[in-house]
Structure 1
Amino acid sequence: MTTQIPHLPDPVHVTVDGTSIATYVLENRGRAPVGDVVFCHGTPWSAQVWAEVGRAVSGRRRVFLWDMPGYGHSQRDTDVRIDLPAQMSRFAALLTTWGLARPHVIAHDIGGAVALGAHLLHGAEYAGLFLWDVVTLHPWGSAFFELVRAHGDVFAQLPAPLHLALVGEYIAGAAHSHLSDEWSSVLTRTWSGPSGQRSFYRQIASLHPEDTRPVAERLHTVRCATAVGWGADDPWIPVEQAHRLSELLPGRGSPVILDDTGHLAPVESPARVTSAIDEWLDAT
């Protein structure tokens, strides 16, 4: 059975702090939107992971997506900073470029750290923030991350077939069940070729747990409605962190836990993720 992969429109590139960022806007031109929603992706993904959910949400709202520099169709030059502090300040600036004063923000993986950092460290204001399987609380960062950080130059020189096999296994390991061949291809393709290979190991080497510490220390000061969603079978970040995170955020609500879902909830369970998001948006 062939999986139909939802596509995003061609990106519109905007420049923020001298860096080219691929952006996407989805909207239903047949009706006036009732609000704005921004989606943030994680690693090693791109805005593509939110395509299906984003299109569903855009039936009633204007949807904005972006590829963080170093990912997807955004700038990947080695002189462009792609660490978490840089992405946090960049996201706050991007919201201003878009002219969005108080959007709802939905974030996955390190996108959660980026969205929280833009809010707590750079003054970005949100109407609400929904965090899915996010990188924020310690500990995070697998043994593979540590190995790449220590030997990134070696991994960057792997023969291309070995590199692609490694990336494919790494991405497949994020899901609870088997990813379709179509999704595996889409998520792996962006890291192919010499440039893609260098970029893959560079983005891992740029991620440091100490960069989320200032965010984790300020979670109680979040200034908007919040929600937490998680895959019950997330193999990368255990579901216990969903409950810890919910307890630390204002409101102390119960997280949305999706059974039979791993770390890639927007890809593995898009209908259930959309349903949870729609219910939350209507409530906030």
Structure 2
Amino acid sequence: MDLTERFDWQGRQVAWTRAGSGPAVVMCHGTPFSSRLWQPFAETLSRDFTVYLWDMPGYGVSSKHASHAVDFGTQAETFAALLQHWELDRPHVIAHDFGGTVSLRAHLVGGVPYASLMLVDVVAIPPSGSPFFRFVHDNPDLLGELPAYIHEAIVRTYIQGASHRGLRDDDLNALVEPWTGDVGQPAFYRQIAHFDTRFLEENEKLLPQLDLPVHILWGTDDTWIPPSIGTKLASLIPNATLDLIPNAGHLIHHDAPIPLTDTLRTWLTTVTSSD
């Protein structure tokens, strides 16, 4: 599922695609990733659902202009505009990492309606951010000037650390590639610099207002965002359900693809049974 379509919004170009037929399912990626994480799962689910993939501005193959904000609020506005462009009413949303904050904000603050929401190892409530993440947040311009080979080594090590089992070279290369070159390198540090915990704090206050089916999925070996955060998140959302996947880290897509696929299909089959 290559992202063959483009949506222009406020000077940004959002890459997207869709496949399949049936109830609409929209998948949101996080940082420092892209929709590539969701592609094999989207292809499988497209047998029964209409699945939408997109790269947020500043990520993947979407535009990466230095002057464009890539904070949670802007991404949530982009998501709302994209759903309107697709003419979707109450899609089923699946989000990973900071896709959680983006999808929650679009719904809780922007009033975008969803039929259901599945949150997978998400950035959604404080605290968040590893020591490396915080260091980059405070020094984006300095790090953006690193020699390319040092930068790539840093990004490879950082992303590899998100997997409990370890990534194959081809999978790691695919995740690192968007952050290389004259455009990708500064974009990597810029998206971390735009991180603002205020959005997480606002989300946390609004979580009790959620009135839709919510399922939370977490890897037991997620060292980026520990499962205790998932447990806390579930306790803050009315009637939310929680599953923990053993031997899976933050990149549950690579660590536990079969359990993830089974959980996605079971959840979507359940919540679409009345569509």
- Choose from 73, 76, 90 the match for 2:64: 76
- Choose from 196, 203, 212 the match for 2:200: 212
Instruction: Indicate conservation of the 8 Å contact 1:133/1:242, yes or no.
Output: yes
Partner residue of 2:214? 226
- Choose from 40, 45, 52 the match for 1:64: 52
Partner residue of 1:264? 251
In the alignment, the residues of structure 2 paired with residue 246 and residue 113 of structure 1 have an alpha-carbon distance, to the nearest angstrom, of 14
Shift of 1:178: 1.3
- Choose from 77, 101, 114 the match for 1:126: 114
Alignment of 1:1-284 (within 5 A): 8-27=1-20, 33-253=21-241, 255-284=242-271
> Cα deviations across residues 115-148 of structure 1 (Å, max 9, x unaligned)?
0000000011011000000001211012112211
Instruction: Indicate conservation of the 8 Å contact 2:218/2:227, yes or no.
Output: yes
In the alignment, the residues of structure 1 paired with residue 77 and residue 156 of structure 2 have an alpha-carbon distance, to the nearest angstrom, of 31
In the alignment, the residues of structure 2 paired with residue 128 and residue 103 of structure 1 have an alpha-carbon distance, to the nearest angstrom, of 7
Shift of 1:160: 0.7
In the alignment, the residues of structure 2 paired with residue 18 and residue 212 of structure 1 have an alpha-carbon distance, to the nearest angstrom, of 26
In the alignment, the residues of structure 2 paired with residue 257 and residue 11 of structure 1 have an alpha-carbon distance, to the nearest angstrom, of 34
Instruction: Indicate conservation of the 8 Å contact 1:109/1:135, yes or no.
Output: yes
In the alignment, the residues of structure 2 paired with residue 223 and residue 266 of structure 1 have an alpha-carbon distance, to the nearest angstrom, of 28
Instruction: Indicate conservation of the 8 Å contact 1:41/1:110, yes or no.
Output: yes
Query: TM-score if structure 2 supplies the norm length?
Result: 0.96
In the alignment, the residues of structure 2 paired with residue 45 and residue 11 of structure 1 have an alpha-carbon distance, to the nearest angstrom, of 18
**Distance change in 2, residues 1:17/1:222 (3 Å):** farther
In the alignment, the residues of structure 1 paired with residue 263 and residue 227 of structure 2 have an alpha-carbon distance, to the nearest angstrom, of 17
Query: TM-score if structure 1 supplies the norm length?
Result: 0.93
Secondary structure at the aligned position of 2:62 is classed as coil
> Cα deviations across residues 12-33 of structure 1 (Å, max 9, x unaligned)?
1111233210011121xxxxx3
In the alignment, the residues of structure 2 paired with residue 155 and residue 9 of structure 1 have an alpha-carbon distance, to the nearest angstrom, of 31
In the alignment, the residues of structure 1 paired with residue 262 and residue 225 of structure 2 have an alpha-carbon distance, to the nearest angstrom, of 23
* Structure 1 segments unaligned to the other structure (5+ residues): 1-7, 28-32
Shift of 1:200: 0.5
Question: How many pairs are equivalent?
Answer: 271
Instruction: Indicate conservation of the 8 Å contact 2:213/2:240, yes or no.
Output: no
Query: Matched residues, percent identical?
Result: 38
Instruction: Indicate conservation of the 8 Å contact 1:104/1:129, yes or no.
Output: yes
Shift of 1:268: 2.1
In the alignment, the residues of structure 1 paired with residue 60 and residue 142 of structure 2 have an alpha-carbon distance, to the nearest angstrom, of 23
Shift of 1:267: 2.5
Measured on the aligned residues, the alpha-carbon RMSD in Å equals 1.0
- Which segment drifts farther, 39-48 or 212-221? 212-221
Shift of 1:87: 0.5
Secondary structure at the aligned position of 1:190 is classed as helix
In the alignment, the residues of structure 2 paired with residue 222 and residue 11 of structure 1 have an alpha-carbon distance, to the nearest angstrom, of 34
Instruction: Indicate conservation of the 8 Å contact 2:80/2:112, yes or no.
Output: yes
Shift of 1:269: 1.7
* Structure 2 segments unaligned to the other structure (5+ residues): none
